[in-house]
């Protein structure tokens, strides 16, 4: 199972191993609406999905799910129900590659918001909150997790800098 968003810092699935992994040919974008976790039905937040892009690399975590895989998938299907679909992907782990599953929200899903100027995405994230917490918290956790992985992601880091600068609670980036 490949996690590239909240599944990086809150997998909540029983797994026997977790390793940094890469998905080549995909980029992570805050283009998916969140009506159930980081926003509300009338005021969606924004969370990440993956977009196919030649030469792009998305860094995340690969989890080895050996026990209760069927239950884990059922739980994840429920958690990722707002537009995500399971997709078979080829993961790069170190110098090896292996087949895995990722939850990707395709362009034709009902909650897809698509691209927008980064400043506009930052405003939406600053203003959104839902049952799982603030949209800012999702972005900051993702930024922190990617730094821990030593992974580069200009889209996430630029957005994080914009949001932190305007955060009324003053969550500045500590460097």
When asked if residue 101 is in the footprint of ligand SIN (CB under 6 A), the reply is no
When asked if residue 140 is in the footprint of ligand SIN (CB under 6 A), the reply is no
Tell the smallest beta-carbon distance from residue 8 to ligand SIN (Å): 6
The three state secondary structure string of the chain is CEECCHHHHCCCCCCCEEEEEEEEEEEEEEEEEECCCCCECCECEEEEEEEEEEEEEEEEEEEECCCCHHHHHHHHHHHCCCCCEEEEEEEEECCEEEEEEEEECCCCCCCECCCCCHHHHHHHHHHCEECCEEHHHHHHHHHHHHHHCCCCCHHHHHHHHHHHHHCCCCCCCCC
CA pair distance 56, 86, nearest whole angstrom: 20
When asked if residue 125 is in the footprint of ligand SIN (CB under 6 A), the reply is no
When asked if residue 30 is in the footprint of ligand SIN (CB under 6 A), the reply is no
Q: From the candidates 24, 80, 127, 158, which is the catalytic residue?
A: 80
Tell the smallest beta-carbon distance from residue 2 to ligand SIN (Å): 7
| Interaction residues for ligand SIN, span 56-85 (CB under 6 A) | 80
When asked if residue 48 is in the footprint of ligand SIN (CB under 6 A), the reply is yes
Tell the smallest beta-carbon distance from residue 110 to ligand SIN (Å): 16
When asked if residue 33 is in the footprint of ligand SIN (CB under 6 A), the reply is no
Among 21, 47, 121, 159, indicate the residue that binds ligand SIN (CB under 6 A): 47
When asked if residue 103 is in the footprint of ligand SIN (CB under 6 A), the reply is yes
- Which window, 2-10, 67-75, 118-126, 149-157, contacts ligand SIN (CB under 6 A)? 2-10
The token pair at 67 is: 């026990």
**Phi/psi of residue 8, each to 5°?**
-70, -50
Residues that bind ligand SIN (CB under 6 A): 3-7, 47-48, 80, 103
Catalytic machinery residues: 80
């Amino acid at each position: 199972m490949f996690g590239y968003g909240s599944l990086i810092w809150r997998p909540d699935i029983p797994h026997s191993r977790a390793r940094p992994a890469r998905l080549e040919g995909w980029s992570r974008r805050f283009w998916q609406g969140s009506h159930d976790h980081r926003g509300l039905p009338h005021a969606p937040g924004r969370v990440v999905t993956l977009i196919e892009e030649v030469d792009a690399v998305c860094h995340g975590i690969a989890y080895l799910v050996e026990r209760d895989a069927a239950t884990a998938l059922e739980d994840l299907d429920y958690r990722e129900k707002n537009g995500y679909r399971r997709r078979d992907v080829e993961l790069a782990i170190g110098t090896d590659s292996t087949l895995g599953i990722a939850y990707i929200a395709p362009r034709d899903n009902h909650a897809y918001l698509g691209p927008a100027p980064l400043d506009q995405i930052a405003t939406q994230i600053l203003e959104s909150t839902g049952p799982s917490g603030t949209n800012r918290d999702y972005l900051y956790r993702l930024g922190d997790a990617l730094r821990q992985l030593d992974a580069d992601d200009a889209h996430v880091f630029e957005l994080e800098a914009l949001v932190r600068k305007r955060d009324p609670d003053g969550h500045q980036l500590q460097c």
